[in-house]
Structure 1
Amino acid sequence: MSDDSIQIDHIRAQWAKARPDLDTGPMGLIGRLGRITRVLSREMEATFARHGLNQASFDLLATLRRAAPPHALTAGQLMDNMMITSGTVTNRINRLEVKGLVERRADKEDARRAIVGLTETGFALIDRVIEDHVATQHRLTALLTDAEFAALDAGLAGYLAKLDGREAG
């Protein structure tokens, strides 16, 4: 058991003494999920940093790369795909445009809109980064057996669907 997991159990034991009337079972689960999130995020950020990116810039480049050729979307489509605000998407586009990774082109159907697409440099970069990103994910999940991986994936997918349904309702 990790030091953090032991610490979470220690905190729960302290609460059991201080407030035996409280069921702190969820505290363990949520504490562990939070710690896992921080560890995974740190590993992903390190992967992106090796390529001069961060999570935000990776997300935008990856969204464009997943789009059908010519790998270009409007700002509105980026907002919808990435679930971010117009100000946030504009800021990200501006930063990546300065780096020469994306470019704005006039929309042939509506001159008031711009289409954001990957440059050749951006396309080549995101292809390298996604390979590194997937390798990092494999390295991190290789710590699980196949059965643990499947059970965790299914359990978390179900939990997320319930949380999302609660938010929508």
Structure 2
Amino acid sequence: MTKKKTATATPAPGRRALADQMGNTLMKEADPLQADPIFGNSDVLVSQWNKQFAGEDVRALTLGIRIRRIAMLLDELSIQECEAVGLKLNEWLLMMALRRMGEPYCLRPTDILKMHSVTSGTATYRIDQLTKQGLAERIADPSDRRGYLIRLTPRGLEIIDTVLHGLRVNFHKKLLPMFEIEGGFEIFEESLRLYERCMEQGD
């Protein structure tokens, strides 16, 4: 009878080498302005909270704080690209939802409401704003004679793809230091997937 193989953790030396590479990259890329006690980066925030809870394990809390600050940075980059084409962030988010569905780039209003966790009035208002700009349109729902679908127009598709192209170029440029670390990007992505799965768990 053959013994069943058990999963083993990544060898510590490999993890250590990867952590060292990341640490060396951080030292080279560090910006002194990010150390400001009010407007500094997440290292400053984590350090401040560690002092406030001295002697306690707040790693899970500070990791969430670090990720939240990164989300704010991503929003800033997205807003810049949106403003360049005359879009608001919430309009872009709605158009992104339609775009990722693939052709014919349609969703029901109820799907939009659930995806964005907003009231029906808010969802209707945002849809109206897109239709007024010619970025989306209401069409009959073939599976529900009383309902309708929201669909990207050709102009809307062109604009959302312009924003996406700008973000792809910008993100790739900013993440070059991570791409240069062998295995760094892949491990970070898997870590984020695990973090998301943990956060989705019920109490």
> Counterpart of 1:124 in 2: which secondary structure?
helix
The residue identity in structure 2 corresponding to 1:34 is R
Cα distance change of structure 1 residues 125 and 146 upon mapping to structure 2, 3 Å threshold: farther
- Distance in 1, Cα, partners of 2:59 & 2:142: 57
Is contact 2:77–2:167 with CA below 8 Å preserved after alignment?
no
User: 1:48-106: CA deviations, max 9, x gaps?
Assistant: 221212332112212222334322222123335x2434333212111111111111123
The answer on whether the counterparts of 1:72 and 1:117 sit within 8 Å (CA) in structure 2 is: yes
Contact preservation (8 Å) 1:48, 1:133 = no
Matched ranges for 1:4-153 at <5 A: 4=41, 5-6=43-44, 8-13=46-51, 15-16=53-54, 20=55, 22-80=56-114, 82-85=115-118, 86-144=120-178, 145-153=181-189
Equivalent pairs, count: 162
Q: Does the 8 Å contact 1:44/1:136 carry over to 2?
A: no
Once the two structures are superposed, residues 4-51 of structure 1 have per-residue CA deviations (whole angstroms, 9 ceiling, x without a partner) of: 3145324423542xxx4x333334423322222222221122122212
Residue 77 of structure 1 aligns to a residue whose secondary structure is helix
- CA–CA separation in structure 1 for the residues paired with 2:141 and 2:52: 61
Give the CA RMSD over aligned residues: 2.4
Distance 1:108 1:6, change over 3 A: closer
In structure 1, C-alpha distance between the alignment counterparts of 2:81 and 2:151, rounded to whole Å: 23
Structure having the higher helix fraction is: 1
Greater alpha carbon shift after TM alignment, 85-94 vs 1-10: 1-10
- Rg comparison, structure with higher value: 2
Give the TM-score normalised by the residue count of structure 1. Answer: 0.79
Give the 3 Å change call, closer, same or farther, for CA 6–71 of structure 1 in structure 2: closer
Query: Which blocks of at least 5 consecutive residues in structure 2 are unaligned?
Result: 1-29, 36-40
